[in-house]
Chain A
């Protein structure tokens, strides 16, 4: 149990286009999902916290108009990178917390490699 999927696993796009990444909890419901960004050989940086049925909470320095997050259901959150630029190229990882307690474990998706040309 506790499987999280992401789609696509990798995507290449042209500068100026928008890209949508899906994060799904396959065998549990997740009230809260998280979106992270990881640069090569670096740690994960939290971008935003996604709550089902409400607006996402963005970390300081993350542009909410550029990184649109929609948590439409208890099993799906999407991240849309709008007007992508080469500096947005990165590894994007989502996680879903199984349970509503703060001590509940976050389970991570396999990540999406975004390359913007």
Chain B
């Protein structure tokens, strides 16, 4: 079985400050890791993914995430937060042979304060 944990339901950060949204995973075999963002009453937008290679993955809107195998983590980061980054963020994991299914974390509500 595979699972994802997002330990923080809510993250608040001041505009211009760096932000981190945490994600840890549990999966047998090599993980495929994804970050999505959801705005109110909208579907999910793809931000970035890690499949293999460089542990630091750069994605859309200035976001990046670092894959840490020893800590089984895939934290989402951005050097300077914008008010428009305020949204619900989901981490997801898949793995080879999992019938291409994504397992999502519970989501983290990010609020960037002006």
Residues in A with CB closer than 8 Å to B43 are: 4, 6, 93, 95, 108-111
Query: How many A residues, CB 8 Å from partner?
Result: 26
Q: Per DSSP, are chain B's interface residues mostly helix, strand or loop, or mixed? A: loop
The answer to whether B90 touches A43, judged by C-beta atoms less than 8 angstroms apart, is yes
Task: Determine whether the beta carbon of B46 is less than 8 Å from that of A105.
Answer: yes
Contact yes or no, B100 A32, CB < 8 A: yes
Of B49, B90, B94, which one neighbours A44 at CB under 8 angstroms? Answer: B90
Residue B55, interface by CB 8 Å: no
The number of residue pairs between A and B whose CB atoms lie closer than 8 Å in the complex comes to 58
- 1/0 contact trace for A39-53 toward B, CB 8 Å? 001111010010000
A42-B106, A44-B90 as given contacts; A57 in contact with B99, CB under 8 Å: yes
- In the complex, are the beta carbons of B42 and A110 less than 8 A apart? yes
Query: What 0/1 pattern do residues 76 to 100 of A give for CB contact below 8 A with B?
Result: 0000000000000001010101000
